[in-house]
Amino acid sequence: MAIFKGAGVAIITPFKDNGDVNFEKLEEIIDFQIDNGTDSIVICGTTGEASTLTHEEHLECIKVAVDRTKKRVPVIAGTGSNCTDTAIYLSKEAQQHGADGVLIVTPYYNKATQNGLIAHYTTIAKNINIPIVMYNVPSRTGCNILPETAAKLVKEVDN
């Protein structure tokens, strides 16, 4: 059974001229996407420049997205990190803020083994109760989730 259906949109993170996140503009972008038929909002992914945000900005973007959607569509929060503990922290916070799921990128730079990927995703999953979307973008991370690894995770991890 599909948890998320249709087409979701990866939201950009708008910035002011001084480099601060423009939360008012973020709300406008979210409303525009929902008003035009998107089926879910993906916040703080690659398109949202999550890796350039402070943890505080990252979590505030997630909170704004959840509060603004008002459950009109699901919110999938990008909470992946090269550090498993950081991914757990961000994922727990996203869950507490009301995100419907999390988007977890593979660890980057270190080129994790397939067993390392299984350990990474399994450890995160054990610490949250919302669905995980595995984000496989090897051209950016240098790490590829092989089909067998994804199948094993889907079989062994409930969320």
Helices 55-69 and 23-35 pack at an angle, to 10 degrees, of 40
| Mean pLDDT in residue range 105-112 | 88
pLDDT at 54: 96
| DSSP collapsed to 3 states, the chain | CCCCCCCEEECCCCECCCCCECHHHHHHHHHHHHHCCCCEEEECCCCCCHHHCCHHHHHHHHHHHHHHHCCCCCEEEECCCCCHHHHHHHHHHHHHHCCCEEEEECCCCCCCCHHHHHHHHHHHHHCCCCCEEEECCHHHHCCCCCHHHHHHHHHHCCC
Question: What domains are defined for the chain?
Answer: 8-156 (3.20.20.70)
**Residue 33 confidence (pLDDT):** 98
C-alpha distances (whole Å) from 137 to each of 20, 21, 68, 113, 133 are 27, 25, 28, 15, 12
pLDDT in tens, 27-48: 999 999 999 999 999 999 999 9
Q: Which pLDDT belongs to residue 1?
A: 40
The reported pLDDT for the residue numbered 3 is 76
Res. 106: pLDDT tops 50:
yes
What pLDDT shows up at residue 109?
82
Q: For 65-98, write each residue's pLDDT tens digit.
A: 999 999 999 999 999 999 999 999 999 999 999 9
